[in-house]
Amino acid sequence: MKKEFMRKAIALSIDNVKNNLGGPFGAVVVKDGHIIATGTNCVTSHNDPTAHAEVIAIRNACKELNSFQLDGCEIYTSCEPCPMCLGAIYWARPKAVYYGNTKADAAKIDFDDQFIYNELDLPLQERKLKMQQLLGDEAIQAFELWQKNTEKTEY
């Protein structure tokens, strides 16, 4: 069964290229042996740098399940997830991820995320993207309210 789910993710990635909707990436979310959601890379067609196949599939699956987590789900993706997608996957909490192409395969066709991994290893002041804290003493109010809120939904 796992191979069939992966074949669906691969088919989505191929169709996405043929239809010129975005990059060569597809993903499916499976629960209890059934595909509950799919996603393809829509970065260029949606003008959204976060519209990666895995993120779209996670959004669709969470809507289908009416949940902000993918408990008991598996994600099948045509390529090893990029750092953003991997972060989203960890937050979604599926039980497993299966992928087709590797990040090295993606780098060979100019989808190389190594620069992000390299940046994350650097101290903030050495990164290419300027990052500076601003109004931290005011921003902390939201965290303090969250901490005191007895009706919050933790995740």
Which of the residues 4, 54, 74, 144 is marked catalytic?
54
d(CA 132, CA 19): 41
Closest CA relative to residue 56, chosen from 75, 33, 71: 75
Beta pairing partners, 47 = none
Active site residue 54: yes
d(CA 13, CA 119): 28
Active site residues: 54
